[in-house]
Amino acid sequence: MSDFYGNPSSIHSIGRKVRAFLDDSRERVADVWRCKASEVVFTSGATESINLAICGTARFLKSKGRHIITSAVEHHAVLHSVEYLVNNEGFEKTILPVDVDGRIDPLDLENAIQDNTILVSIMAANNETGTIQPIAELGAVCHRLKVCFHTDAVQWFGKEPFDNIHQFNADLVSICGHKFYGPKGSGALFIRSPLLLDPILFGGSHENERRAGTENIVAIAGFVLAIERFISTPVFDRSLLSPLTSRLASFCSLSGVNLVCPSASRLANTCSFTVPGIDSITLLAALDLNGICVSAGSACSAGSLNASHVLTALGMTKKEANSLVRISVGRETTGEEIDLFLTRFPVILDQIRNNE
């Protein structure tokens, strides 16, 4: 903020210095992703990347068809974008079901694709259950049938081994910085060339006319550092985190709580379970008072009393879905902290049950 404070669109020397920094930042992301710099669009985070990918592509391709496919377990940034297009702009949707572990069957996708399908959007990994989708396989179906494929890879980056952006077989990939220790409010969208889309923000010709608005250089700087440091060698190290989440998972089988998606191939940092008969808000508050910060459904819908749409898609009742506890561990999480949880949790459960 003290050295690169100019506006990259200004033509004076202070602005040109920041323009060079911005160009270099884009090249650095492209180096890690192994794509062209022109395929990287900086955004304000995942929600914007996803809205641009879905609304922008659907509107650009609407003369070819109006059918969009997504899944029942997507983040609301995806589901609400699709819903908006359906309710207001004459698009149609198919929502793919998932199995008990939250996985989408590539055959279901293949059967759902019609002549007028223009876009498929499936997430790479789920934020509430950690379930990893067979994303390259799903992308291959789309490529074979010549349908544009977007993946919300927000939860996946920094947790699974990354080689290059083409490994998803996707035309569009949404990503945000704060899921792998970058700044909040930073993100990017990969747009495979020569794919074009309509902008969703109007104004200047920033980001190659794909995202109007003066670039958030501070967020971009942090985002690029996080991409360089934490992606190719995932910062959420499976060999360190799996033993922690495995201890949580084995505890579930002993204590009458139900592990969510027990057989799924899951992100190493996520462990979710439901607690029969107890509302997750009550549990979260009690855990918080004990110094343990965990989540219910997605943090984004915290405060909303709606049952998690992800868990109901897995076949759970609303009551079961309302008893979700999601524990995410990170690079700072220690075995002692897991011990603390395992000791205190049964006591807290007893206290809540005795008070009811």
Total residues in contact with ligand PLP, by rule CB under 6 A = 13
Q: Which is nearer to ligand PLP, 21 or 180 (CB)?
A: 180
The residue within the footprint of ligand PLP, chosen from 122, 154, 221, 231 (CB under 6 A), is 154
- Of residues 8, 45, 199, 222, which one binds ligand PLP by CB under 6 A? 45
Enumerate the active-site residues.
Answer: 300
From candidates 29, 35, 46, 261, binder to ligand PLP by CB under 6 A: 46
Question: Cβ closer to ligand PLP: 152 or 171?
Answer: 152
Q: Residue 284 has what DSSP assignment?
A: H
Cα–Cα distance for residue pair 226/7, rounded to 1 Å? 23
Window of 41-49, 138-146, 160-168, 225-233 that interacts with ligand PLP by CB under 6 A: 41-49
Binding to ligand PLP (CB under 6 A) within 73-92 occurs at 75, 77
Kindly report each contact of residues 240-246 with a partner whose C-beta sits within 8 Å and lies 24 or more positions away, as own/partner.
240/331, 241/268, 241/269, 241/329, 241/330, 241/333, 242/268, 243/335, 244/329, 244/333, 244/335, 244/338, 245/269, 245/270, 245/271, 245/327, 245/329
Is residue 191 within the footprint of ligand PLP (CB under 6 A)? no
93 - beta bridge partners? 68
* Region binding ligand PLP by CB under 6 A among candidate stretches 89-97, 152-160, 214-222, 232-240: 152-160
Assign 3-state DSSP to the chain and report helix, strand, coil percentages, each to 5: 45, 15, 40
- By CB under 6 A, residue 325 contacts ligand PLP: no
Q: How far apart are the first and last CA of the chain?
A: 53
Q: Does 196 bind ligand PLP (CB under 6 A)?
A: no
Can you tell me whether residue 172 is helix, strand or coil? strand
Establish if 171 lies at the interface with ligand PLP (CB under 6 A). Answer: no
Q: Which of 18/133 has CB closer to ligand PLP?
A: 133
CA distance 272 to 254: 15
Q: Check residue 165 and report its DSSP letter.
A: G
Which chain residues interact with ligand PLP by CB under 6 A? 45-47, 75, 77, 123, 127, 152, 154-155, 176, 298, 300
